[in-house]
Amino acid sequence: MAILDINIYGDEVLRVKAKPVEKVTPELVQLAHDMLETMYEAPGIGLAAPQIGKSIRLIVCDVTREEDDARDPHIFFNPEISAEDGENPLLPYEEGCLSVPEIYAEVMRPGRIRVKALDINGNAIELRNVDGLLARCIQHEVDHLEGVLFVDKISAADRALNQSKLKKMSKSRKV
């Protein structure tokens, strides 16, 4: 197991559309476990491969808390999400991001989603009616795979409030 470095706002890799995983190999499963360890250590509730410098479609999430009886890690290769049909309004939630430290702001997202992905055995899986913090986290992580950060989705007012922090962060990453 290994703790990996997390890329920060301003690093180019965070803005690249990640490539699909062609085959779930033992090396990629090991990478997913290293990502989980990195996420627990940060601490965070999710992590996407571009955040540790790998532009591939792999995300991990665990929305349990350290003090809970058991952890519930999720590893998704090539995740595809869609909003569930029916009554499913956009809900507000104050998000953060390990790649955008010290900024928290409200983002609107569907409350209930469907997730299709490959599991660690390379089998196709489908989760229906995923809701709550797990749905929130998966949507945030899938955005990372598209090169999208939560700060792209915040209100103009919140953006203005955080603009100088973002500029400083970005400048500090340029060589």
Binding site for ligand K1U (CB under 6 A): 43-48, 95-99, 136-137, 140-141
Residue 47: contacted member of Zn ion, ligand K1U, none (CB under 5 to 8 Å, by partner type): ligand K1U
User: Taking CB within 5 to 8 Å according to partner kind, which of ligand K1U, Zn ion, none is near residue 162?
Assistant: none
Nearer residue to Zn ion within complex by CB, 87 or 134? 134
Q: Tokens representing 66?
A: 């350290």
Asked if residues 127 and 139 have their Cβ atoms less than 8 Å apart, the reply is no
Q: Which residue is nearest to ligand K1U (CB)?
A: 44
CB of 19 to Zn ion, least distance (A): 19
CB of 141: closest distance to Zn ion in angstroms?
A: 7
User: From Zn ion, ligand K1U, none, which one binds at residue 145 (CB under 5 to 8 Å depending on kind)?
Assistant: none
In this complex, which beta carbon is closest to ligand K1U, that of residue 22 or of residue 94?
94
Number of residues this chain uses to bind Zn ion (CB under 5 A): 1
Closest distance to ligand K1U from the beta carbon of 99 (Å): 5
Q: Pick from 35, 52, 97, 103 the residue near Zn ion by CB under 5 A.
A: 97
Placement of tokens 């929130």 in the chain: 136
61 sits near Zn ion (criterion: CB under 5 A): no
Active-site amino acid positions: 141
Neighbour order of strands in the sheet with 46-48: 46-48, 58-61, 74-83, 113-118, 124-130
